[in-house]
Amino acid sequence: MARRKSTKPATDPVRRRSAEHQALTAYQERVIEGHRAAGREAPPPKPAPKLASSIPARVDDSIRDVVRAADTEDAKLFQSQPPADDFTRGDPWRVLRIMGEFIEGFDKLAGLEKAVTVFGSARTAPEDPQYKAAVEVGGLLAKRDFAVITGAGPGIMEAANKGARLAGGRSIGCNIELPFEQGSNPYIDTLVQFRYFFVRKTMFIKYSAAFIIFPGGFGTLDEMFEAVTLIQTGKISQVPVVLFGRHYWAGLFRWLQTRVVAEKKISAGDIDLMTLTDDPEEAVEVVAAAYAAQVAAARKE
């Protein structure tokens, strides 16, 4: 059977590069919009990488490697390797930097015993019902003695941190280096800065007793599926994944059930790894019950 060609061929480098540039610009605009919706100016933006067929290189003296001027540390790590005689001038130094970042994260968060990570869009404005629900969730978690961890940005992240702060709980932000300055929201008492997404993800997973996931984009979806995959493969257990906003997540659930389960890419039981709700109290109750089960299981070991 003949394969149908894409109407927008990904094999076209110019089109693909244009799409990448537009995506980055739009992401930056959403972060800025999230800060402004909260009544403050966003940090001055760094210029996004210029759209060009060839990008001049320079030397990054901090790790003595050849990189693009606007690259983040993640981008430097995943770029094509330099010539063989330059290999030892880049990655071995970068490994030390990665180790240092792990150590800093562990050091700042080591005292956490009860924490929940809240994910969601940076664009959500304070008047949005989802923002208000995230504030309530953050407050209810704090009243149950859970610290609240977010990605430190505006929108849903800010709302959850705000709720925790107003309720007298611990409010933590794990910020990430981006090609533009994201900035952190003002409701954080412990801020950890990361260069590498995978180091930051490790902190979310290691120190969270649960994940509450509000509507969001690619980053939110990535974090949701990361958590579910770790549970599915037995890497973590008794860690609930709560999806807040039934209407937003309904289409994804239908697709998972009618396509992914139907084609046996996952089992029907895998859907039960996630809980759907519109109720902040129910979301926190699920978290508290799972934490009690975690503690009980730990005492038996």
Mean pLDDT, the chain, as a whole number? 82
pLDDT at 51 (0 to 100): 37
| pLDDT, mean of residues 34-52 | 58
pLDDT at 93 (0 to 100): 79
8 A C-beta contact, residue 170 and residue 148: yes
8 A C-beta contact, residue 135 and residue 167: no
SS3 label, residue 231: helix
Give 53's pLDDT tier (boundaries 50, 70, 90).
Answer: very low
| pLDDT, mean of residues 205-234 | 95
Q: In the predicted model, is pLDDT for residue 88 greater than 90? A: no
Cα torsion 157, 158, 161, 167: sign: negative
Burial of 218 (0-12, 13-18, 19+ CB in 10 A): exposed
Q: In the predicted model, is pLDDT for residue 47 greater than 50? A: no
Q: What is the pLDDT of residues 63-87, one digit of tens each?
A: 434 334 456 666 666 665 555 555 5
Pick the residue with more confidence: 22 or 37? Answer: 37
- Cα–Cα distances in angstroms (integers) from residue 3 to residues 13, 186, 256, 293, in the given order: 21, 52, 24, 50
Q: What predicted TM-score, i.e. pTM, was given to this entire model?
A: 0.78
Q: What is the DSSP string of 157-175?
A: HHHHHHHHHHTT--EEEEE
Instruction: Please report, for the chain, the start and end positions of each structural domain, with discontinuous segments joined by +.
Output: 115-300
pLDDT at 121 (0 to 100): 96
pLDDT at 211 (0 to 100): 97
243-260 burial, b at 16+ Cβ within 10 Å, e below that, comes to bbbeebbeeeeeebeeee
The CATH architecture one would assign to domain 115-300 is: 3-Layer(aba) Sandwich (3.40)
pLDDT at 38 (0 to 100): 73
Burial of 219 (0-12, 13-18, 19+ CB in 10 A): middle
pLDDT at 297 (0 to 100): 83
Q: What is the pLDDT of residues 130-154, one digit of tens each?
A: 999 999 999 999 999 999 999 999 9
